[in-house]
Amino acid sequence: MKIEQETPFKLIANCIPVKGAKRSSICDLHRGSIQLIPNDLYELIKNHEGSSILEIKKKYDHKYDTVIDEYFEFLIDHEFIFFTTTPELFPKMSMNWYQPNTITNAIIDVGKQSDYNIYHALENLNELRCKHVEFRFFKKISLEEIKTIVEFLDDQKSSIISIDFTIPFDNDFEIETIQNFMSTNGRVSSFRYYGGRENKFISPIDSRRGYIIITDTIISNEKCCGIIDSSLFSVNISTFTESQKFNSCLNRKISIDTNGHIKNCPSMMKSYGNITAISLNEVVEQKEFKKYWNISKDKINVCKGCEFRHVCTDCRAYIEDPENLYSKPLKCGYDPYTNTWEDWSKNPLKSKAIEYYGLQE
């Protein structure tokens, strides 16, 4: 491959390098993909963007010409860069994240013993101009009951624009029926069935919404929350920019557990009152409720050295040291200082925290 040597290079604006402790990554926020790179390549990009390859080689006295050519072949092959004589005309993508809504997303848990009024909760969320809601049912629920929830939102002209349903698998489940339901109900983004016979992903009915996930995992309560896995990375502009200054899981989130207790997340111990006695708006006004919102990955022990930190979720419900607000997520088995993954539940150093949270099983 003949590489342009004399024209300055620019990184594609939505292809953003992230430095880790031992290696780095380039997050392609357009394609939704990640490429791992050596830290040397990260430094080359950060220090020399806007220069030509020839100028870079001269700065290193031509000692590393072969390596530099190989790096640029990689960048060109993955379409991360382009060459231009006017690099100053191509600004970097803004890392500012802004949402006018007081609350952007919510989780509503419903169990066999739940006796609070979910419709009252939805009215409260509408007052907060919430956009996204996940319903998690720890009991059987029919499609007719789900239809009633969606129709209620339609009648209320609710601010909620997307709903995800996590429900137990039903042997009478029919893919076509659920897809037809999502096709005619634009608010419904996905169905996640747990306790199924297999693990299966059924593609969206369009490019952005309407997908179905079936998992053989049994989800019996809120303790399923907080697992960190590469398959769960969210490589997009919204997550990436929000994570620069805010917590990628709890920022602008509110939740109601199966008992009606209002929390940052249903898995967390702290309750700020019960939906039967206090409004969600009153809870959001409490300063204590917002204390997790600004805990970004760059503030969290271990995570701040991770090359995946801006596309990863961040659970504060289960952390390695329950006494340290900035402790690493308990259910993460990745070590950015060795670039290895392990089964978090079998790490002896996590045993005290696992016992503290009652996660032994």
Residue 172 has what pLDDT? 85
Q: Give me the sign of the Cα torsion angle 359, 334, 338, 251.
A: negative
What whole-number distance in Å separates Cα of residue 246 and Cα of residue 196? 35
**Burial 138-168, CB ≥16 within 10 A → b, else e:** beebebeebeebbeebeeeebebebbbbbbb
Residue 1 has what pLDDT? 62
Residue 171 has what pLDDT? 85
What whole-number distance in Å separates Cα of residue 256 and Cα of residue 277? 13
Q: Which residues pair with 106 in a beta bridge?
A: 133, 254
Q: Which two tokens stand for residue 132?
A: 């996204």
User: For the chain, which ranges sit under pLDDT 50?
Assistant: none
Q: Which two tokens stand for residue 5?
A: 């040597």
Residue 205 has what pLDDT? 82
Task: Report the chain's mean pLDDT, rounded to a whole number.
Answer: 95
In this structure, are residues 27 and 240 in contact, taking their beta carbons and an 8 Å threshold?
Answer: yes
Neighbour tally for 270: CB within 10 Å: 14
Name residue, tokens 């009991």.
139
pTM for the whole structure: 0.91
Residue 208 has what pLDDT? 72
For the stretch 176-211, pLDDT in tens is 999 999 999 999 999 999 999 899 999 988 777 899
**Burial 189-200, CB ≥16 within 10 A → b, else e:** bbbbbbebeeee
